[in-house]
Structure 1
Amino acid sequence: MPSTVLDKADYQGGRKWGDVKKEQAKKIDTINQEIIESGNYKEYEDLEEKLTSYKEQFIEYDTDDSGDLDPTDVAYMLEKLGKNKNILEIKKMIAQVDLDGSGTINYHEYVQMMLGKKNSILRIILMFEEKSKEKPGPSGPPSVRKIEDLP
Structure 2
Amino acid sequence: MADYQGGKKFRQLKEEQEKKLDEINRNYLDDPDYGDSEDYPDLTSSLETYKQQFIEFDLDSSGDIDLMELKMMMENMGQAKTHLELKKMIAEVDRENRGSISYNDFLFMMLGKKSSVLKLILKFEQKANEEQQPSGVAPKRDISSLP
Q: TM-score range by the shorter chain?
A: 0.7 to 0.9
- In structure 2, runs of 5+ residues without a counterpart are none
TM-score of the two chains, using structure 2 as the length reference? 0.86
Partner secondary structure for residue 91 of structure 1: helix
- Whether 2:53 is the aligned partner of 1:82: answer no
Query: Cα distance, 1:139 vs. partner?
Result: 2.8
- Please show how residues 14-53 of structure 1 align to structure 2 within 5 Å: 14-41=7-34, 42=37, 43-53=39-49
Partner secondary structure for residue 112 of structure 1: helix
Query: Cα distance, 1:80 vs. partner?
Result: 1.2
For 2:63, the aligned partner's letter is: G
Deviation per CA, 1:71-118: give whole Å up to 9, x if none.
011111111111111111100000111111111111111001111011
For 1:29, the aligned partner's letter is: D
Count of equivalent residues: 137
Rg larger in structure: 1
- Whether 2:146 is the aligned partner of 1:137: answer no
After TM superposition, which residue ranges in structure 1, 4 or more long, deviate above 3 angstroms? none
Query: Cα distance, 1:36 vs. partner?
Result: 0.5
| Cα distance in 2 for residues equivalent to 1:88 and 1:52 | 31
Partner secondary structure for residue 103 of structure 1: coil
- Please show how residues 1-150 of structure 1 align to structure 2 within 5 Å: 10-12=2-4, 13-41=6-34, 42=37, 43-135=39-131, 136-143=133-140
TM-score of the two chains, using structure 1 as the length reference? 0.84
Label 1:17 to 1:144 Cα distance change in 2 as closer, same or farther (>3 A): closer
Label 1:140 to 1:94 Cα distance change in 2 as closer, same or farther (>3 A): same
Partner secondary structure for residue 16 of structure 2: helix
Give the fraction of aligned pairs with identical amino acids, expressed as a percent: 43
| Cα distance in 1 for residues equivalent to 2:107 and 2:29 | 12
Bigger proportion of residues as helix? 2
| Cα distance in 2 for residues equivalent to 1:74 and 1:144 | 43
